[in-house]
Amino acid sequence: MSAVLTSGLRLELDRIRLSYTGDPVVDGLSLTVQPGEILVLTGPSGCGKSTVLRALAGLLKPDAGRVLADGELVTTTSRDRGMVFQDSALLPWRTVRSNIELALQLRGAPRAGRRERAERWIDEVGLTGFADFLPKSLSGGMRQRVQLARGLAGAPRAVLMDEPFGALDAKTRNAMQGLLIDTWQAHPTTIVFVTHDVDEALALGDRVAVLGRPGQPLRALLDVPSPRDAEVSRTELRAEILGALHQ
């Protein structure tokens, strides 16, 4: 576990207010993400889960408050804070391999060896033989596998995931959750995972945060005992989260 502590980024939100145009979507939110943990963000729709993620990524400047990564102020995007989106975020003119190679290129990896490393990632996410396919020729689940590989290939110290499995059917979604856990264990990093699916939150998270309406404090911030162990019954915790969601 010591490797996890040294490589994962510590993310802090300090009384942030976020808005696009007009009324704030998030107001006065404070939350700390521990290095190397998987923190799941959930909440009623429209509560600003994705907006918080964009602020953590540096894609959205807070109107007030601070976003800190390992104590340093976040002002813009960085390859240390990668992001995985719901769908269609792959560059459609690049093949599977070339999309993953782009992540290596943008993080400054030398040209030599990029191809081999991309191939290893393709194998790791179970897409062997699909290296030369364009995104349009892949299923939704396969595209998300590529996004996962692309998001992690640059070895970011935190990965922000915006409902990455939200558009997939239940069976594919379960497989992808398993793949995410395996990959994360092989390449430890801090993960902030946004979902509106309580079961997904419980299957992945070390902790689950339930966001409230703008200006409200966090509705709940719950530890998941023996996280990611499928054998453990989580009925009570599930009820608690559902209770917080439907407050």
Partner 1 sequence: MTAIAAVTAAPARPAETEVSRRQGPAKWRGYTVKALSVIAAVGIWQLLTAGHVRFWLRFDNLPTVTQIATKFIERLGATQYWLDLMQSVIRIVSGFGLAAVIGAAVGIALGRSRLFADIVGPLTELARPIPAIALVPVAILLFPTDEAGIVFITFLAAFFPIMVSTRHAVRALPTLWEDSVRTLGGSRWDVLRQVVFPGVLPGLFGGLSVGMGVAWICVVSAEMISGRLGVGYRTWQAYTVLDYPSVFVGIITIGALGFGTSAAVELIGRRLTRWLPRGEENGR
Return residues touching partner 1 (CB under 8 A): 54, 57-59, 77-83, 85, 87-95, 102-103, 106-108, 132-139, 150, 154, 160
SS3 content of the chain, % helix, strand, coil (to 5): 35, 20, 45
Closest approach, Cβ 219 to partner 1, in A, equals 28
Look-up of token digits 């980024």: 9
Nearer Cβ to partner 1 (107/213): 107
Which is nearer to partner 1, 107 or 196 (by Cβ)?
Answer: 107
Q: Other CB atoms closer than 10 Å to residue 28's CB: what's the count?
A: 14
CB atoms within 10 A of CB 220: 18
Question: b/e map of 35-52 (b: 16 or more CB within 10 Å)?
Answer: bbbbbbbbbbeebbbbbb
Residue 136 vs 171, nearer CB to partner 1: 136
Q: What's the min distance (Å) between Cβ of 96 and partner 1?
A: 11
Residue type, 5: L
Residues 6+ away with beta carbon under 8 Å from 73: 66, 67
- Is the CB of 103 or the CB of 194 nearer to partner 1? 103
Taking the C-alpha atoms of residue 77 and residue 60, their distance in angstroms, rounded to an integer, is 9
